[in-house]
A and B are shown apart, each in its own frame.
Chain A
Amino acid sequence: MSQATPTLKASPTPRRARHSLTPWARIAALTVCALLTLGPVIWTVSTSLRTPAQSFDLPPQIIPTHPTAEAYRGVFDQIDVWLLALNSTLVTALIAVGQMITAGLAGYAFARLEFRFKKPLFGLVLATMMVPLQVTIVPVFLVLKSMGLTDTLLGLIIPAFPTAFGTFLMRQYFLGMPKDLGEAAMLDGAGPWRIFRSVYAPLAAPGLAIVGVLAFNYHWNEFFRPLILETSSQNYTLPLGLVSLQGNLGTGSISVVLAGVVLSMLPAVAVFVVGQRPLREGITSAGVNR
């Protein structure tokens, strides 16, 4: 601070003049970074629209001279896209709904109900956020095997229902709601279930949307668990099917592989467009809440 004192006396004008240049440099740098970030995606889309013969062309044509859906037909010929998409949709949607229900209920209990062992139970839930999936996967595989759920979609869905992060998020969300609402309802004679059902649950919709969108994004893209649990190809989800498309490299066409990538990206992009705000809030609050 002692060194800052002399600068205080220096007139602020030259500093301001120097600063007025930087916004443009800043925006230019940010634009380059944004292009680097989006470049691979743009290249993927444009290559998927080229003919297989042109797919290796350099310089890459960003706007294909002869756009064609040939590669997309190739994908549909080689893998059962509809089945994979159906599997992915089923798994992802059921997990998202399941997590919204379990996290909503548990989050409310931790935020607004009184019961014994509340603190240790919440500690247990938080602690499981730190347990890597890979450490538990072998026993989880064995548990599912004993239930006859390996190589089924149900085996992917059920273990994903409890969500420590979602529970934490919903607890914070319910804590943020005014307590007087519930107290007023209680004075009117409402029991704990009525207070939850009629007062707090309807207010929870935006928070539940965050949990749902996060779950959708994570499980739509999930690779590790499906890779281990699903052995027959009729139970594959999209990411698994895609990686199997890679054999196309041998036949000299990457446009088919990339068309598959684009197809699998579409729902994720749709969620990005529609669910951008909840997704962002979900991630941002992780940093602010703790």
Chain B
Amino acid sequence: MTNTQVPNTQDPNAQVPAVRSRPATPPPAVAVRPSVRDRGTRLLAALFLAPTVVGIVVFTVVPIIGSLVLSLFHWNVIDPPRFAGGANYRTTFTDSTVLVSFRNTLLFMVLAVALQLLIALSLALALNARMPVWLRSLFRSAFFFPLVLSAASISVVMKYLFNQDFGVVNWLIGLVGVAPVPWLTSEHAAMATVILVYVWQQFGFSFLLFVGGLNNIPKEIHEAAALDGATGLRKHLGITLPLLSPTLLVASVVGIINALQVFEQPYVLTDGGPGDATRTVVMVIYERAFEQLDFGEASAVGVLLFALIMAVTALQFRLSRRFVHYQ
């Protein structure tokens, strides 16, 4: 591994000794014109950071504050905004569609993330066994291929594959004698189908994380464990998983944040139906804001989604303190 090729794994603290080492550089270089050099550095830093920081402030920080403010107003773009106090939030908590969308999104998150991590981890472990290099890279490419496709167009494809009457999936299960399933038209099946389609496309992300994480585990540890008589499942549960736990944490944090924002799959596959069975929070935000022009309530739902994401992520980091081991 060359230093310049591979993204570095240093922790942020790594720069601290570097800063301290500055006085250690030959005194003349520092002493000649330190103030000029420092001003140049600061100016350069300001120039370099300006596009990113200004962009983030204008398109993320200000909009977050904007969402908080908007959620306190009634506004339909046409009439001037009217102060609403907590009315939008009250509507949210009594609106059955919104409540159902939160329930759906949480259910989706739990099932989709669990399934995605399980599949990704099993495949990464299976791929970690001895096999020809070309075969391994073939499998690896196959598993992360769906990730490069667009969720919208994949959902269009899946809509036909899961069609009750002429879909390939029902034909396939018909071959082994299973009766046709109303994949997209019955309440429970529709949610399951949305989850399957989502996981099909997304598991490659966690898969790649796990492949990277497994590569980082020193071989000696497994060899030592084998000498101690650890095998198969025991080896994985007792050694691989704890060593992989930092990667597992990242995969689940990213997986949960993404899952809570699911939109394309239910939008294209079921349009939230049947009834509200697959309507997700983001679909509700979209519908309230851009179909019903109720910007206030849309913002309130958005703020609640943000709060939910923060809460879940914080909870995860807290729980992870007990389960994540750093080498």
Contact = CB atoms under 8 A, between A and B. Distances in A.
B166 interface: yes
Contacts of B29: 186-187
B234 to A, nearest CB: 8
Contacts of B159: 246
A8 interface: yes
B74 to A, nearest CB: 14
Given A130-B257, A134-B305, A288-B247, A40 B154 contact: yes
Contacts of B9: 172, 288-289
Contact of B209 (A10, A206, A257, A286): A286
B220 interface: no
B86 interface: no
Which residue among B9, B130, B213, B298 has the maximum number of chain A CB atoms within 10 Å of its CB? B9
Contact of A130 (B3, B41, B141, B310): B310
Interface in A235-257: 239, 242-243, 245-246, 249, 254, 257
A73 interface: no
A162 interface: yes
A228 B290 contact: yes
A101 to B, nearest CB: 7
Contacts of A128: 56, 60-61
B70 A289 contact: no
B145 A38 contact: yes
Given A106-B49, A143-B58, A224-B264, A281 B63 contact: no
A101 B50 CA distance: 12
Interface residues on A, range: 35 or more
Contacts of B229: 4-5, 7-8, 10
Given A15-B231, A130-B257, A162-B55, A220 B48 contact: no
A37 interface: yes
Interface of B is mostly: helix
A221 B150 contact: yes
Contacts of A133: 261
Interface stretch (A22-30, A63-71, A78-86): A22-30
Given A8-B228, A34-B143, A109-B44, A223 B152 contact: yes
A44 B63 contact: no
Interface residues of B, number: 115
B232 to A, nearest CB: 9
B149 A221 contact: yes
A173 B285 CA distance: 37
Contacts of A228: 286, 290
A276 interface: yes
A239 B150 contact: yes
Interface in B136-172: 138-154, 156-161, 166, 168, 171
A93 interface: no
A269 B149 CA distance: 8
Given A105-B52, A161-B51, A283-B144, 14 more contacts: A4-B234, A26-B126, A128-B56, A138-B67, A159-B59, A187-B25, A192-B41, A221-B151, A227-B286, A258-B157, A261-B153, A272-B141, A281-B6, A288-B216
Interface of A: 1, 4-5, 7-8, 10, 15, 22-23, 26-27, 29-30, 33-34, 37-38, 40-41, 43-44, 56, 58-60, 101-103, 105-106, 108-111, 113-116, 121, 124-125, 128, 130-143, 158-159, 161-164, 167, 169, 172-173, 175-179, 183, 186-187, 191-193, 196, 203, 206-207, 210, 217, 220-224, 227-228, 239, 242-243, 245-246, 249, 254, 257-258, 260-261, 264-265, 268-269, 271-272, 276, 279-281, 283-290
Interface of B: 3-10, 14-15, 18-19, 25-26, 29, 37-38, 40-42, 44-49, 51-56, 58-64, 66-67, 70, 123, 126-127, 129-131, 135, 138-154, 156-161, 166, 168, 171, 200, 205, 208-213, 216, 228-231, 234, 246-247, 250-251, 254, 257, 260-261, 263-264, 268, 282, 285-286, 289-290, 295, 298-299, 302-303, 305-306, 309-310, 313
Shortest 3 CB-CB contacts between residues of A and residues of B: A176-B8, A162-B55, A139-B66
